[in-house]
Structure 1
């Protein structure tokens, strides 16, 4: 495999670790980037961006990073807090009156951010096309009942997170989410991608597909079993209502839509730049105090949807002891995405990490590909 890119002196062993992901861990198109104290210490890419192998994977190739999108969405919410437009401890309905319907009047923005709202899935079956229609999705989520008493337990919201939090951001700011992303995140850091796959600095887009051979799991992923055991339960409904949430991710409708919990298309360089900024001593995107407040633990426990223990700050998953959730140090925070992509910050080392892949694994958080890069990187720092 011909590995493209750069490693700073002393970080050359990362070439071989990245290449090993192609040799033995199933990667066919992927990129990795690490930024420390504002400087790129590694940016590697290889393979093909399309299934036919005709289009080379480049440094600016955009990959659907699925739930890694949530970290960028949370960042935009926190920017509105910093601007004085959003108070996380006020009810969402004060900004968005329709959201008070169906028992949601007391839900706060903080509960949305840390997955304690109970609004984790549409209660009624919705049309497949709904997810491509931003105004219709906001209307539907405003009418949706919580699955349990808000605040009573932690339950990850795989897709509705984007419409609940995105709707709140728009109502509080008076601006569109796309404009807020562009002005507040994309342009300041000169990012390649954004929400959806079109209209960004880069037009290179990777097709995503499953790994040809599953990787050994670092922990049990019980989501699939839970879906099979109860097709009408909250886990199954959260991931499969509508079924278009699980299909068509290489199609034009998905790539053109605004599905901010799941259809962010970013390069590895994008994720490393964002989290590298948040890990720095002089961040552009948020103040040091705002970042510190956002990474204070807000919720920890056996998650009702993810079926495992995980800790959340205000929108970010916090570093844990397990390999697949260890973001460099105890101070680390970030967000993995389905399939294996990951972006995280480690303020202890002033480091931002980004890895994107077109070959989707089945792990719940990071899989062996990202973990091998993390472990090698930290062995060199």
Structure 2
């Protein structure tokens, strides 16, 4: 399998580790990118972008990165805080009156971004096609009750995060979310992808599918056990109400929809460029004080949905001591996605990292593919 791309002098050994992910860890189409001090020091890609294996993966191939999308959405939210359109600690209902019902009257943007709102899943059974209707999904979120008193517990919102934060952004700015993304991030950073798969700079969309052979787990993934224990719990409903949330991710309907917590389609270079900008001392995407909010602890502990210890900043997961959540140094912040993609910023080294793959693993956070690349990279820094 041929690896294409570039490594700056001193980083050439990443070619071999990236190739090992194909030979030993099941990758069939993937890309890795690293930016430091505003320069691309690594951009590698290889394999195929489609299921038939006859379309080569390229530097600008975009793939569904699932929850890695959340960091992009959080950046847009913080941009609107910087612009004075939003305040982190002001009730969402001040901007979106319909949201202020059923116990959500005092929920704030900070609580949404740090997963302390209690709005983690639809409690009422919803139609399978709801997720493909942006306006209907936002309306359903506004009408939903939190699972517990907002602010009292940390509970990750795998899908509703996108409709709560995205819906708030549209109402606070009177601007469609896709336009906010284009103006705030895609155009200034020349990103290849975006939310959904269509209408972006890159027209090559990779098909995704499961790894043919599971990778060794870096930690126990307790979500499945929690779902089996109680099919009506917040954990179960967060991932299966509706069931279309975990089905059809290569379908035209999924790729055409606006599901900003989970159907972002980005290249590895997109993630590295975005996080590389956030990591720079002279960052222009956000004021320095808001970048500190992004990476500083807003909530931590045993997450009621993820069933694991997690520390959140404002919209991002914070770097931890475990290998599958170690985003560079202790100031690092970013977001992994289901299947193995990840993007993060390491402000200590002014570094942005992005990895995407067409083969989806079952790990809760990063798996052995991204971890092996990170370990090699940081051994050379």
Scaled to the shorter chain, the TM-score interval is over 0.9
Shift of 1:375: 0.5
Shift of 1:102: 1.3
Aligned residues: 381
- 2:156 corresponds to 1:156: yes
Aligned to 1:100: 100
| 1:186 alignment partner, SS class | helix
Separation of aligned partners in 1, 2:289 and 2:124 = 41
| 2:135 alignment partner, SS class | helix
Shift of 1:94: 0.5
- 2:91 corresponds to 1:113: no
| 2:328 alignment partner, SS class | coil
Separation of aligned partners in 2, 1:294 and 1:8 = 29
Please give the TM-score of this superposition, normalised by the length of structure 2.
Answer: 0.99
Separation of aligned partners in 2, 1:296 and 1:38 = 23
- 2:199 corresponds to 1:179: no
Shift of 1:370: 0.2
Shift of 1:296: 1.5
Aligned to 2:286: 286
Aligned to 1:35: 35
User: What per-residue deviation string (whole Å, max 9, x for no partner) do you get for residues 210-263 of structure 1?
Assistant: 000000000000111111111111101000000000001000000000000000
User: What per-residue deviation string (whole Å, max 9, x for no partner) do you get for residues 287-308 of structure 1?
Assistant: 2222112222100000000000
Aligned to 2:379: 379
Aligned to 2:273: 273
Separation of aligned partners in 2, 1:47 and 1:31 = 9
Aligned to 1:51: 51
Structure 1 residue runs of 4 or more that deviate by more than 6 Å after TM superposition: none
- 2:206 corresponds to 1:241: no
Separation of aligned partners in 2, 1:322 and 1:59 = 30
| 1:72 alignment partner, SS class | helix
Separation of aligned partners in 2, 1:289 and 1:37 = 19
Shift of 1:174: 1.3
- 2:82 corresponds to 1:89: no
| 1:300 alignment partner, SS class | strand
| 1:146 alignment partner, SS class | coil
Alignment of 1:1-381 (within 5 A): 1-381=1-381
Separation of aligned partners in 1, 2:48 and 2:91 = 46
Separation of aligned partners in 1, 2:293 and 2:328 = 19
Contact 2:294 2:333 (C-alpha < 8 Å) held by counterparts: no
Separation of aligned partners in 2, 1:294 and 1:240 = 29
Separation of aligned partners in 1, 2:202 and 2:248 = 21
Separation of aligned partners in 1, 2:125 and 2:196 = 24
Separation of aligned partners in 2, 1:213 and 1:251 = 24
Separation of aligned partners in 2, 1:289 and 1:105 = 27
Separation of aligned partners in 1, 2:268 and 2:288 = 24
